[in-house]
Chains A and B, each alone.
Chain A
Amino acid sequence: MGKKPRIEEIHPLRRRRFMQTVGAALGVPMFAGGVGAGFRFAMHEELFGTAHAYTQADLVPTYFIEINLRDQWDFGHVFVPPGLATETNLIRGAEGNQCSLFYGAENITAAGNNFYLTPDSMELMPHLDSIAVCESNELCIGAIHGHEAVNAMRSPGRSKQQSGSKMPVWEQEPGFGEQGNDYFYSSTPTPACLHNYVQKQLDPSLRNGITMKFISRFHTACHFAGTKPEGELTRIQSVQELFDTFPDTVEDLNILPTPQEADILSETLRRVDAGFFQRNAFQPAAHERHHANLGEAAGLWHTGDTQVVSMPLTEEEIAYWSAGVPDQVGDNLKANIWEQAAWAFKLISNDVTRSVSLEFDYLDVHGSRSESVMNTMGLQAALPLARLIESLKAAGIYEQTLIVLYSTDGGRAPNGNSYGNSGKNTFVMAGRNVRGGYYGDVSVAGNSGDGHTYGYHVPNDDGSLMAPVTDNSNRLDGSRSWRTVMKALEMPDDLCDEFEDVAGVSPLNFMLT
């Protein structure tokens, strides 16, 4: 008979906090790097028992903030590609083939590791050693000049054809419509969903991860858990809903007064609902999913928690997070990106949940992208990122956190008149296991009309640059960036290999420590 795990000596209601403490201790670099995985494994075995040791040792407690930016976001005023930053004869402007980089060389700062910052992004300077940028990724393929709600980097292998193990990715999105989003099928979970799934495996009492669906238009970002439905994020559609979801009274955390009552209710519903699935000829998966949901609901009916987090921002918090950040620009304004960043920080730093997704947009601009557009997008991306990093560092959890920004429905070419189905498709990583640098490049390939043609230099496996292309060819497959994010989060390889479109794919190791 095996040794009894020490975790069982702790009252169930106190296990969550204990596991959080252990997880945090074993996740910090001092243990992770200095003592090594063997020590971590041994500790987990002692605490959690042999049967769970492999799982517990493999699933590292981490935090993940996924920032989805639409419509076809351009980071051109945040991280200037080296080739454009150093081009001496750049034709700048908002029109045609002019370059939509409105800062001259005198205002662009070379910050090392191929980073070139503008006044809009200078606040990122102290954090560049842990920020990695790659814009040479597979382009978006939505029907309307690339617009889509998935992105190959977020769900590699996504396709408009359903085949094999691919499933619809849009089913959990409220009010989903085809226009500007497109119907895709995939088998690869999007990053925040898979992270949420893993963290909930590690700590079943964790609050579910969320996505703040605050894009101003009918556009959205699809989140997709695939074969790991427990990873589906809670969709938050309004600020009030966010506040209601994370109430600030203890009573609201314990709807039923005891865990026994929660279990009775859960078990009763499991029994009576079984007949519903039989009578209505649902597929077995539907019943299984409901069964799992009821188990999770029991944890919500009585959380045992006594700690609450007040989500509304104080005046001091508003002053800090909002300073210099332009308001959302869109059709039906829902929440500013600095507010979303502040709420994400509150949830993460209080360990309420570990997976938070932000959804934000600058409405779709074509024909002429003026300086104000580029400045606004630059400030909206750079300042909240800098403050998230600064705050996470101050809270002592930056080493456990990965932030990823995506140009979710594609990026842009440098051209003033650019659409999102050519040029760049960007992801930016910051935090855990990230090796700072701007990887790949964009340069002037020649002159054309009122401006230039542009060359795109894709990074080799060692980070060096390939010869440039001037069309949409030779971009990095979306599976590369997906595996890179997963490796930064220390997600188990065998888990990632379960998904056919990313199985065995190498991450972009040059972006990782």
Chain B
Amino acid sequence: MQTHAIPCTLLATLLCTSACYTGFDAVVDQGLGNDAVGEVGDDGGPGGDDHDGDEGGGESEGDDEQPEPAEEEEPFELPGTEARLLPFHVRMTNLANIVGVDEDHFIFDALYMRRIQLGDHDFSGNIAADLVWNPQKMGVWVKSLEPVCSSIQFQERYPSISADPTPLLQQVLARDPDADELEAYAAIATQAPDTATADRLTCYAALSSLEFVAQ
């Protein structure tokens, strides 16, 4: 059994300086879109309410800066209960290496356009990285791979991949594929209605496999 003891009193004392807003000091623009509320705010302003600072002095400012939590500890390490994605930029670097083009090549535009859906962060937009490899990301990832798999660059580098996926898999896996893997990829060719479809599905599968996208 693992537990996480939170030093409640210490934490509250340290963190309340920015976690709480008091009625003191500076006024924050509320952007109230309502006349009635604006008028109400005149009796001392919309202020008197949503300002920064702690109860004892209100010295902190109205930003989302967080103090360094003292002695904060992660509750525990994930014991392998779920596969997690590599950070988005790592996936993109690896993908560019596989295809043999620069990371800013236009065949990756769809991926960059959907980078937030694919788990990238955008701190300026208050968006954190989301590395859960869930069905939604699988859907968006495969959709965004279409320009990559259909690109001349990819097809010239990996011709006829459904007939011989080994060169692609060696790059994707950074090792030789084992017999089970080769058998699984070979099954695509037998099930797909035509070679073009088999090639496309082989590309999607290789570039969506956990060996390639996950940590």
Which residues of chain A have a CB within 8 Å of any CB of chain B? 94-95, 102, 143-145, 147, 160-163, 168, 171-172, 174-180, 182-183, 208, 216-218, 232, 234-235, 237-238, 240-241, 244-245, 252, 255-256, 260-261, 264-265, 267-269, 271-277, 280-283, 285-286, 289-290, 293-294, 296-297, 299-301, 322, 324-329, 331-334, 362-373, 375-376, 379
- Report the bound CA distance from A276 to B205 in whole Å: 14
The answer to whether A179 and B19 have CB atoms under 8 Å apart is: yes
CA gap between A102 and B36 in the complex, in Å: 13
B161 CB to closest chain A CB (Å) equals: 13
If A144-B19, A241-B117, A244-B114 touch, whether A183 touches B136 (CB-CB below 8 Å) is no
Nearest CB on B from A387, distance (A): 15
Q: Is B23 a contact of A367 with CB atoms below 8 Å?
A: yes
Pairwise interchain contact A365-B23, C-beta atoms closer than 8 A: yes
Tell me which residues across on chain A come within 8 A of B58, comparing CB atoms.
367
B-side residues, CB < 8 A to A, are 1-6, 8, 11-12, 15-16, 19-24, 28, 30-34, 36-37, 40-41, 43-50, 55, 58, 62-64, 66, 69, 72, 75-76, 78-83, 114, 116-117, 121-122, 125-130, 132-136, 138-140, 142-143, 146, 178, 180-181, 183-185, 187-188, 191-193, 197, 201, 204-205, 208-211, 214
The main secondary structure of chain B at its interface with chain A is loop
Are B62's CB and A370's CB within 8 A? no
Contact B30 A366 (CB under 8 A): no
CB pairs A–B below 8 angstroms (9 shown): A168-B75, A268-B205, A273-B211, A283-B81, A327-B30, A332-B64, A365-B21, A366-B21, A379-B37
Is there an interface contact between A238 and B116, defined as CB atoms closer than 8 Å? yes
The A-B contact count (CB < 8 A) is: 276
A154: min CB distance to chain B, Å: 19
Closest to B43 in A: A371
The answer to whether B83 touches A282 (Cβ under 8 A) is: yes
Chain B hits for A297, CB < 8 A: 135, 138-139, 142
| A368–B201 touching, CB < 8 Å | no
Residues of B close to A265: CB separation below 8 A: 142, 201, 204-205, 208
Q: What's the minimum C-beta distance from B192 to chain A, rounded to whole angstroms?
A: 6
Give Cα A364 to B171, complex, Å.
51
The answer to whether B41 touches A372 (Cβ under 8 A) is: yes
Chain B's closest residue to A276 (CB) is B210
Are A282 and B130 also in contact (CB < 8 A) when A255-B143, A271-B180 are? no
4 shortest interchain CB distances as A-B pairs: A175-B128, A368-B23, A367-B22, A300-B139
Q: How far is the CA of A285 from the CA of B83 in the complex (A)?
A: 10
- Of all chain B residues, the one with the shortest Cβ separation from A241 is B116
Q: How far is the CA of A196 from the CA of B28 in the complex (A)?
A: 38
In the complex, A440 Cα to B49 Cα: how many Å? 28
Chain B contacts of A260 at CB under 8 A? 191, 193
Whether the Cβ atoms of A268 and B81 lie closer than 8 Å is no
Contacts of B142 in A (CB 8 A): 255-256, 265, 297, 301
